[in-house]
Structure 1
Amino acid sequence: MKQFSVAPNADASRWLVKLEDVAPEDSFTSKDEAIRAAEELARENQPSRVLILDQQHQIIEERQY
């Protein structure tokens, strides 16, 4: 199962979408944009899950596809 994460960058100016918590796939100015992109990637690569993280990189939500 592939894992995509959505998390803010260090200064919270952008939201990063990462595959397997490695290098960023893309970055977005809003959290909602980043979540939509991560969900689309997860649907294209099923079975997958999307982890939405806060600034401390704690999981606040998990979605499975």
Structure 2
Amino acid sequence: MKEYSVVPNKDVTGWFVKIEDVSPTDLYDERNTAIEKAEEIAKENKPSKLLILDQNHEIEEERNF
């Protein structure tokens, strides 16, 4: 199962979509945009898990596809 995550950058001025918590794919200005893109990628690569982290890098939500 692949794992994707949406995490804030260092200054919380943008949000990364990361694959397997290793390589960021893209940086988005808005959190909702990053979540939408991460969901799209996760749905295309089922089975997968999406972790959405808050500004403190704590898991806020987990979604499975």
With normalisation by structure 1, the TM-score equals 0.96
Identity value in percent? 54
How many residue pairs match? The answer is 65
- Report the aligned-residue RMSD: 0.6
Is 1:16 matched with 2:16? yes
Task: Encode CA deviations 1:6-52: one digit per residue, 9 max, x unaligned.
Answer: 01100011100000000101110000000000000000000001100
Distance 2:59 2:30 in 1: 18
Distance 1:12 1:55 in 2: 6
The aligned runs of 1:19-58 (5 Å cut-off) are 19-58=19-58
With normalisation by structure 2, the TM-score equals 0.96
Unpaired segments of 5 or more residues in structure 1?
Answer: none
In structure 2, give the amino acid aligned to 1:54.
D
In structure 1, give the amino acid aligned to 2:4.
F
Unpaired segments of 5 or more residues in structure 2?
Answer: none
SS of the equivalent of 1:55 reads coil
